[in-house]
Amino acid sequence: MPSVMRRYAGGEERFEWPSGRDDPELGAPVVLMVSGGADSTALLVLAATSKLNIDDGRGAARIARERLHVLHVNHGLRGLDAEEDEEFVRELAGRYGIPCTVRRVDVAALARGARESGDAMGGNVENVGREVRYAAAAELANRLSEEWGVPRSSARILTAHTADDRAETFFMNAIRGTGPAGLSSIPRRRNRIVRPLIDWTHDQLCDLLRMRGIVWREDDTNHDTRYLRAFVRHELMPVARRRNPKVAASLATTCDLLSDEDAYLDQLASRAYRDLTRREGEGMVALDAARLGASDVALARRVVRKALLTVCPGARLEARHVAQVLQLVAAGRGSCTVPVDVDVRVEFGLLVVRVGEASGAEAAWLQVPGTLGLADGRTLVARLVGVPAGSRAAEVAQAHGREWAGQSVLVDAAAAGVDPTQGGRLWVDGVQPGDVLCPLGMHGQSKKLSDLLAEAHVPTAERPGVPIVRTSPTGTVVWVAGIRADERVRVTPDTRTMLELTLE
């Protein structure tokens, strides 16, 4: 592995990774998220001087100093105090010879922008700050992994969450209202993010720093009980400790149990989601509504939640949103919209979840013979076909329709306005208001195109994307692609050249 230059507050050094390592995790970067508070200061000190369990299969073990890299995110919220926090972290990292990266982000501006865009939850300064920190840590871990030639998945991002943080988060989520995942609180590990201090209390870490003569920074906002965490920490936790001095440890056990059971139910829900999925595409999923409605409600909630987050990973879901969808499933029909403009409909036995609107079919000419690419990735193919010798044209067309199950049809080329010898072109667009056709097999009776699509069980949201093949921009319908041809272009005993239209 090539040598790498490491820079830190005290200078720089070049080192080369030992060769012959079979396990890439032992040579992967370990990013320490350090704010300067007591807990994160202790994390830095322990990572540099003691054994930590970072869930790499070794248990509690020393981390090679060259793997460590400190990350500090300056939110720009506390003026001079924030500048002093940044300088403190730089100096502490330099004292232990650990490189330090600082990211400066105007969190207040980002939160304000989120609120102005209508995202009330996303506009919370605490939420934005947390997202910024983890995004910065992921970016740094990815960059270091690439520089060192190791898989990204082998990197570790360490945070200084403690048993107290876990207990506080449990109460915070309970106050807001949550399910098992929220009550599981802070996990010991989520993908690359590991919390090696989750069994320590804040007081234990403070005592450790005092014994080593190490100071830390205090954030005055941690005492502002207008913030929910501060309220729980200073108002609720002292009351709970009076009843049970070891409440943090007790809740840690509860969180571990809930986390294990939540993970098991998630496995069941993922399996059910796969079994119930009938169609899936870009920003869309359709589930079997009847079978979903017959499922146990605990499992159904998770399946619905998974469907919503699959089409819109950024959706901020609440229990009422999932309940609203399940009400539609129970009713067997209806529609609603959940946050981030996710459209949910139950029709024709399907629960269709879609983000945004279905794109309409693009208007364009289809050359005959030729092909036309559609906006949804499918292709329309047109070609001229002669009637096989000794065959009856109408019987050939009927057999072709059965074989292709409506995805391809044979019609009379001349009746469709295409020259049987020279070819021509057809117009393709979407459904237009007032469209009428004479569906093949109805012996000349007319029908509204909207009614035909409803009878074909095409979900309302998908109808604008159905390609309609016409003789010209203002001409008659030749084929509602994938559904029905028009009676006026049917193959007859007099047909000599057939036009084959296929939707691929």
The single residue listed with the structure tokens 């329309």 is 380
Q: What share of the chain has pLDDT > 70, as a percent?
A: 92
pLDDT value at residue 4: 47
Q: Which domains does the chain have, with CATH numbers?
A: 3-253 (3.40.50.620), 289-355 (no CATH), 364-503 (no CATH)
pLDDT value at residue 2: 43
| Segment 268-288, tens digit of pLDDT | 999 999 999 988 877 888 899
Give the residue, 70 or 492, on which the prediction is more confident: 70
Core vs surface per residue 435-466: b (16+ CB within 10 A) or e = bebbbbeeeeeeeebbebbeeeebbbbbbebb
Classify residue 328 as exposed, middle or buried by CB count within 10 Å of its CB (0-12, 13-18, 19+). Answer: buried
pLDDT value at residue 419: 86
d(CA 425, CA 471): 8
Residue 360: band (very low, low, confident or very high) from pLDDT cuts 50, 70, 90: low
Closest CA to 132 of 93, 75, 215, 204: 75
> Interior CA angle at 180 toward 170 and 304, to 5°?
135
| Segment 401-456, tens digit of pLDDT | 888 877 888 888 888 888 888 888 888 888 877 788 888 877 777 888 878 888 87
- Longest CA–CA span in the chain (Å) reads 101
pLDDT value at residue 356: 65
d(CA 202, CA 163): 8
Residue 125 to residues 113, 228, 318, 378, Cα–Cα distance (Å) = 11, 12, 20, 44
Strand 193-194 versus strand 156-158 pairing type: parallel
Residue 18: band (very low, low, confident or very high) from pLDDT cuts 50, 70, 90: very low
d(CA 396, CA 488): 17
Please say if the pLDDT value at position 7 is more than 50.
Answer: no
pLDDT value at residue 1: 42
The stretch 229-249 carries a mean pLDDT of 92
The stretch 365-388 carries a mean pLDDT of 85
Three-state SS string over 452-481 comes to: HHHHCCCCHHHHHHCCEEECCCCCCEEEEC
Residue 112: band (very low, low, confident or very high) from pLDDT cuts 50, 70, 90: confident
Beta bridge partners of 382: 370, 501
At 223, list the tokens.
């005492």
At 5, list the tokens.
């230059």
DSSP 225-284: TTSHHHHIIIIIHHHHHHH-TTHHHHHHHHHHHHHHHHHHHHHHHHHHHHHHEEEEETTE
Give the residue, 314 or 283, on which the prediction is more confident: 283
Q: What ranges make up the beta strands (E) of 148-256?
A: 156-158, 189-190, 193-194
186 C-beta neighbours (distance < 10 Å), count: 21
| Segment 59-98, tens digit of pLDDT | 999 999 999 999 999 988 778 888 999 999 999 999 999 9
Residue 124: band (very low, low, confident or very high) from pLDDT cuts 50, 70, 90: confident
Beta bridge partners of 421: none
> Interior CA angle at 427 toward 424 and 431, to 5°?
160
Residue 358: band (very low, low, confident or very high) from pLDDT cuts 50, 70, 90: low
pLDDT value at residue 118: 59
351 C-beta neighbours (distance < 10 Å), count: 26
Residue 24: band (very low, low, confident or very high) from pLDDT cuts 50, 70, 90: low
